[in-house]
Amino acid sequence: MYKHFFKRTFDFMLALFGLVVLSPLLVIVTIALYFANEGKPFFFQLRPGLNGEIFKIIKFKTMNDKKNEAGNLLPDGERLTKMGSFVRKTSLDEIPQLWNVLKGDMSLIGPRPLLPEYLPLYNETQKRRHELRPGITGWAQINGRNAISWKQKFEYDIWYVEHLSFVLDCKIVFLTLKKVMKTEGINAVGAATIERFNGN
């Protein structure tokens, strides 16, 4: 009952409440990133959601679009702005995804939505992460976030799919807030972003 009805109801109500309460903060961060990223405060990207259906995710943009002489984007670490680093460290970049939750593309809690090009690389077990709507936070996020391996991340995702419950979601919310305050596991070790998934 919770999985098929109440979870979506709670998602909608809490996302709406969050957008209203956090609207002043959203405006401030939007203005700050507008200037930091030369007029581009938001980041849009296609991601697979429930049953692998593609949707457009929205986040705050933490890296600029500066390129080298050859016209290629500079490495992630060089494009991460000071404001972007702060936004990412405090997890403020995730807040716009409340709009995705409101629309029904995402859930507050679930496996994180990854890149569409990863879809053909999943084995049969890993594909099960798409049995649920992707989440802003999830079991993998509170157990290491970007500091753990892809193997561990997928194992946590599938464990969540198999053990979904209201009590577990409440636990994840509490532990997520704790992680955010400690700013743990934001980046992969020695990198500004997590390494790409290349299959098993």
Cβ–Cβ under 8 Å, residues 81 and 63: yes
Asked if the model's pLDDT at residue 186 lies above 60, the reply is no
- Least confident among 18-32, 35-49, 61-75, 181-195: 181-195
Kindly report the average pLDDT of the chain as a whole number. Answer: 90
- What local confidence, expressed as pLDDT, does residue 187 receive? 52
Q: Do 130 and 124 contact (CB within 8 A), yes or no?
A: no
Which residues contact residue 92 at a Cβ distance below 8 angstroms, ignoring those fewer than 6 apart? 25, 29, 60, 86
Confidence band for 183, pLDDT divided at 50, 70 and 90:
low
- pLDDT for the residue 38: 84
- Answer whether 193's CB lies under 8 Å from 43's CB: no
Span 104-130, pLDDT tens digits = 999 999 999 999 999 999 999 999 999
CB 111 within 8 A of CB 160: yes
**Which positions ≥6 away from 112 have C-beta within 8 Å?**
134, 135, 138, 140, 141, 157
Tell me if residue 190 falls in helix, strand or coil.
Answer: coil
Q: Is the pLDDT of residue 13 over 90?
A: yes
Supply the pLDDT for residue 64. Answer: 85
In the chain the first and final C-alpha atoms are separated, in Å, by: 35
pLDDT attached to residue 17: 96
Rounded CA separation 150/111 (Å): 12
Distance in angstroms (rounded) separating the CA atoms of residues 132 and 198: 23
Higher-pLDDT residue of 198 and 56 is: 56
- Per-residue pLDDT tens over the stretch 139-173: 999 998 777 899 999 999 999 999 999 999 999 99
Rounded mean pLDDT, 21-50: 94
pTM: 0.87
Asked whether residue 191 carries a pLDDT value surpassing 90, the answer given is no
Q: Which residue has the higher pLDDT, 184 or 78?
A: 78
Residue 134 has pLDDT above 90, yes or no: yes
What is the phi/psi pair of residue 156, to 5°?
-65, -40
- Which of these, 79, 113, 105, 104, lies nearest to 193 by C-alpha position? 79
Q: pLDDT over 90 for what percent of the chain? A: 67
Say how many CA atoms lie within 13 Å of 138 toward its Cβ: 27
Measured CA to CA, the distance from residue 29 to residue 87 in angstroms comes to 8
